[in-house]
Amino acid sequence: MIRINSQVPDMELSAFHEGEIRKVRLSDYRGRWLIMMFYPADFTFVCPTELEEAADAHDEIKKLGAEVVSVSTDTAYAHKAWHEASPSVKKIRYPMLADAGGRLSRELGTYSEEDCMSVRATFIVDPDGIVKAYEMHSNDIGRSIREIIRKLQAAKFVKEHKGLVCPASWVPGKKTLTTATSTVGKL
């Protein structure tokens, strides 16, 4: 299972993106931040609500120098069918990765052998392919794209400002802390 500050494995996956099924390598995202949103399956209940929320925030995420991808153990053909059938999923312009054999899910520790699918998980990966944050939770609990964006902003901030750290609930413009002494001003 992957850990914080470890390298995301590079592998090639099929993806449904911009109306086409194509191959995508995880290393294609090097040089920019990456949000990987694992979810259990297409044509489910909670998943379209979160993927739609991510689709609505996609432009904001891109302005932060990041890309988002969704990942499930469905095939790219299932992603295409779901994209065509669901008004919520139809909004998605980011790549929908197909981890049909569960290889990536297993590598990152999100695969449930009992259910034969991924649990709901989010990974924030820096431009060097290093995991900076992740969370996993029960498949019946949806995640918040606002909190994911906040974590992305905090991860970017500490990477760009050596020696500074972000306290609880930090958002851009709020006070940060220094690892050497005490609180510093807004940045």
Active site residues: 47
SS3 annotation, 14-78: EEEECCEEEEEEHHHHCCCEEEEEECCCCCCCCHHHHHHHHHHCHHHHHHCCEEEEEEECCCHHH
d(CA 13, CA 159): 28
DSSP string, 152-186: HHHHHHHHHSTTEE--TT--TTSEEEESSSSEEEE
Eight-state DSSP code of residue 134: E
Task: Tell me if 102 sits within 8 A of 111, measured CB to CB.
Answer: yes
Task: Tell me if 91 sits within 8 A of 56, measured CB to CB.
Answer: yes
